Amino acid sequence: MITKKIYQTLSFLSENFKKHNVNWVLIGSLNLFLQGVDVEFHDIDIYTDKVGTFCINKIFKNYEIEPIKFSEIEIFRSYRGIFKINNCLVDVVTDLKFRPSKTSKWFKSSGLSKIVSFKYRNLRLHLASLNEEYVAYINMGRLEKARKIKERLQQLGVVV
C-alpha cells in the first residue's frame, strides 16, 4: 500500500521534475511494487542524468541529507545523493554501475533508456521497465528480487 506521505512526495517530485525539465525514472522497490511485484519498499529511488543531478541538488537543497557526489561501496558505484522530503527518504542516483561481488566486473545501468509511462491515481510517473530491473537485480546478485520480477513478467506474458 502506498501511504499518503509517499503519494504526496511522489506528487511533489513529479511536479518539480516536470517544471524544471528533469529527465528521471523511478527505480528500485517502489517501482517494482507499482508494477505489481510482491516487494516491500521503504524509500523512493530516482535515476536521472548528470544534468538532472545538478538541477535536483539546486531544487531540493533545503531537503538535502547528503549532496549528490560520487559514492562507491562493494557492489555499487554511482553519483548519489539523499534527500528527506515529507519525512520520506529520496535516493537520487546517476551513472550507476553495479556488480554481484568484489571480484565481478562492473555492469552499467541502462538508466533512462527504457521508461514506462505509468498513471497512479492522478500522477503520471516514469518507471524503469521490469525487464531492465530484472537484468539489474540479476547483475547485482539480488536473486530473490530477480525471481519475483521474473514471476511478474511471466504473469504479464513476457518471456524472460
Question: pLDDT of 56-113, one tens digit each?
Answer: 999 999 999 999 999 998 888 999 999 999 999 999 999 989 888 888 888 888 777 7
Q: What pLDDT does 2 receive? A: 93
For Cα atoms 132, 92, 127, give the angle at the middle one, nearest 5 degrees: 35
Closest by CA position to 95, among listed 131, 138, 54, 127: 54
One of 3.20.20.100, 3.30.460.40, 3.90.1150.10, 3.40.50.1700 is the CATH number of 4-152, namely 3.30.460.40
Copy the grid coordinates of residue 9.
512526495
Task: Spell 34-56 as b/e; 16+ CB within 10 A means b.
Answer: bbebebeeebbbbbbbeebbebb
pLDDT at 19 over 90: yes
* Tens digits of residue pLDDT in 20-69: 999 999 999 999 999 999 999 999 999 999 999 989 999 999 999 999 99
Helix (H, G, I), strand (E, B) or coil at 90: strand
Q: Where are the domains of the chain?
A: 4-152
